[in-house]
Chain A
Amino acid sequence: MIHVWSGAGADRDSDLSRNRAVGNGGGDRAATRVLVVDDDPSILDTVTSILATEGYQVKSAGGGEEALALVAAWRPTLVLLDMRMPLMDGWAVAKAMREAGSKVPIVVMTAAENAKRWAEEIDAAGHLAKPFELDELLACVEKYGSRDRKN
């Protein structure tokens, strides 16, 4: 599939192509299971509702333990992971996932300046620096979620 999400720079001129993409991608998206992990309930609700509306399968976890349980039970194809969380942070979650043998791509979501470095630290597929735009979120999910799907 040729995806046409053009990222942050996209403007209204590309609305037509986007709509097409939504229509085309719907079937594939249903096969993408995205797990959103964040300790901030607002972000969790927002991202979950956006991705659900866009046709992805989505589940949310408000903390590390919950996330690990879902990774094991639900087998997501992509994990959006917040790094700074109380009790169990993103590093610990990533480490536990890898130790459990999970190869699911992880996308780091963080408000910190060093989002890229943190992503490298846990060997993540990509990163989303908060505050991210809708287009960035969707492009990211499409890119890494679809890659895994192809594999």
Chain B
Amino acid sequence: MTALDLVTLLSQAIYVVIFFLVLWRYVRAPTPAHLDMTIFFGILGFIVVESRVAGLLGVTQPAWFTDLIVAAVIALPYVLLRLVDDFTVVRAGIKGVAALIGLGLAAIYAYLEAPYPVAWTLATVGYIAALSLYCGIAFVRAGRHAEGVTRRRLQAISFGTILFAVEVLMAGSAGQFQDPEKTILNATGQVLGLLSAVAFFLGFSPPAFLRRAWQAPELRDFLQRAASLPRLPTTLDIVRELERGAAAATGSRAQIALWQEDDRKLRVWTPGSNAPLDIEAGQHFAGRAFEQQRTIFSSHPVRDDPQGADVYRKGRVGAVIAAPITAGERRLGALVLSAERPPIFALADGELSQLLADQAAVILESRALIDHAAKVRAREEATRLKEDFLSAAAHDLKTPLTTVVAQAQFLERKAMRDPSAPSDLLGLQRIVREGQRLAALVTDLLDAARMEQGRLVSDREPVDLGALVSEVCSRQHASPHECELDVRGAIVGNYDRKRIEQLLDNLVENAKKYSPEATPIRVEVWQHDGEARISVHDQGIGIPPTDLPKIFERFSRGSNVDDRKFHGMGLGLYICRGIVEEHGGRIWAESEIGKGSTFHVALPLGEGRRLN
């Protein structure tokens, strides 16, 4: 027995084994693809076994038997074309033409007597090789558009198909050569044939372990990224990533439908389209999987879901798996996997899709929890702000009240004991001062409340800012600070005079409050870019850079402010901001610790100018 004989025997045995494996598959799941595979390997097995049996017995076959074998060989590439059609779409015309040519060739062979003319043999070989090559190219193209396991399967099939075409060419032309070329061609053909058979088997019907191995890289990649998915900016981003991951892991197309509690509908964000699609529960495969809470497989979506038939035809959807996405009791949506043809999916893909859907549920639920936590935090923050407000307001109102009440009662008591006693001037002054402090606080609180409703500014009138600034500055009598004024031109705008006065008062008083005695306060008023500009500059303690962005918020006080020295609730600048913003202007500050601060105000002039 030569090496060539051994290879031949081995490959023939493998053909037969594969045939029985495929036959077993067909018996278990009689799908068109399994049928075509059984026919394909059946023909191969038949030719192989027949030649071996004939060789062993040394019998000459009758002419009709030879014709049958020739017809079977001619049928092979046609069956291959059917297999292409099982996995991807083949144009109807091509199948018809191939069938006609095949039948014609077989008929001519039945008519001819052996030995056949060389030209005929070569023409037949050419037909078989060409059709096989076409199938190979079709599989390559289908593989390019697929991903993951499907891509690998289609690559194996196209590899097998091209090997098959080459093998046919070699075996068919071997007869035209003498030894040793004939033997070499035969041997090479045998090896190629064996390789193509194995590639076909692995591609058409991969064993479970190989399928899992082919799915593993994408699945692992997806699971690795799963932990980071809940932190993506939007739920839609998460959905897109989940779809991408599920598609890669199963080698199919994937779409996620999310249940919208408000609309009581499932929503699908179709790729490339901005408008999402709403699906009722129970409608289409997503709706059915969602409603029935089970995985649904359809190998004929056009028949099983006539409502969506157009979409399936247009989108070349020939098989669908839909799995519910459910976290515990919470139904979140459904994962829908679709493929061009049913054999793209294996039985195990039902389980895999449910696993992926469960993974999606975990990720979406984590996202919901993150969102919920953020909402709770925001609510707590709001509550805390309110509590801060209440406790700050309560504390700051009660403190001066304590003095007023206790001091007044004490004066009353003293007067009752001895009505002729001289009045306690210090005590009276304390009451007056704390009463005023209380009044200012109440005014500030009411202003802050008004501001929140945007009702701070009322009656507008033409206001000369320069005149108003000098009025405010000159009013601050008995102050150890000098007010330096720099008013460039008459700047008149249409403002609420009382509020602007309050704003200037506040800024100038702040400047004085937070700067050492005898340092001047510089106030400038000018016009710039159609805006009135005011700046108040002091040489005071300054504002720490970290506090600067917060100073115009309510209850915000500089961290370097000693509460004992400077009374206040932290409402002054907040109200200033309100006054400026309601006028359509801006307020900001710049500062350097220990050097001083400058507060800037920009107010629109346009309206005021027209009025004047």
Give me the interface of A with B, judged by CB distance under 8 Å. 12, 15, 19, 39-43, 45-47, 49-50, 53, 62-63, 84, 86, 111-113, 130-135, 137
Contacts and interface: CB of A to CB of B under 8 A. Distances in A.
Contacts of B417: 19
Contacts of A19: 417
Contacts of B400: 42
Given A46-B403, A46-B427, A49-B427, A62 B395 contact: no
B407 A46 contact: yes
Given A53-B414, A84-B395, A112-B394, A63 B564 contact: yes
B406 interface: yes
B398 A131 contact: yes
Contacts of B403: 40, 42-43, 46
Contact of B564 (A49, A86, A132): A86
Contacts of A84: 395
A39 to B, nearest CB: 5
Contacts of B433: 42
14 contacts: A39-B563, A40-B403, A42-B400, A42-B433, A43-B399, A46-B430, A50-B406, A50-B407, A53-B414, A62-B564, A63-B564, A130-B402, A132-B406, A134-B405
A131 B405 contact: yes
Contacts of A86: 562-564
B398 A111 contact: yes
A62 B563 CA distance: 12
Q: Please give me the 7 A-B residue pairs with the lowest Cβ-Cβ distance, nearest first.
A: A111-B398, A134-B409, A131-B401, A131-B402, A42-B403, A130-B402, A111-B395
B406 A42 contact: no
A113 B394 CA distance: 8
Contacts of B176: none
Nearest to B417: A19
A95 to B, nearest CB: 21
B349 interface: no
A137 B406 contact: yes
The contact size tier of chain B is 20 to 34
Contacts of B562: 86
B402 A134 contact: no
B434 interface: yes
A12 B415 CA distance: 13
Interface in B548-579: 562-564
Given A46-B407, A86-B562, A134-B409, A112 B395 contact: yes
Given A15-B416, A131-B401, 17 more contacts: A12-B416, A19-B417, A46-B427, A111-B394, A111-B399, A111-B402, A112-B391, A112-B394, A113-B394, A131-B398, A133-B405, A133-B409, A134-B405, A134-B409, A134-B413, A135-B409, A137-B406
A40 B398 CA distance: 11
Nearest to B414: A53
Nearest to A84: B395
Contacts of B564: 39-41, 62-63, 86
B410 interface: yes
B426 interface: yes
Contact of A46 (B391, B395, B406, B413): B406
Contacts of B430: 42, 45-46
A39 B395 CA distance: 13
A84 B391 CA distance: 11
B563 A113 contact: no
B419 to A, nearest CB: 13
B300 to A, nearest CB: 72
Contacts of A47: 406
Given A47-B406, A63-B564, A134-B410, A40 B399 contact: yes
Contacts of B413: 134
Contacts of A41: 564
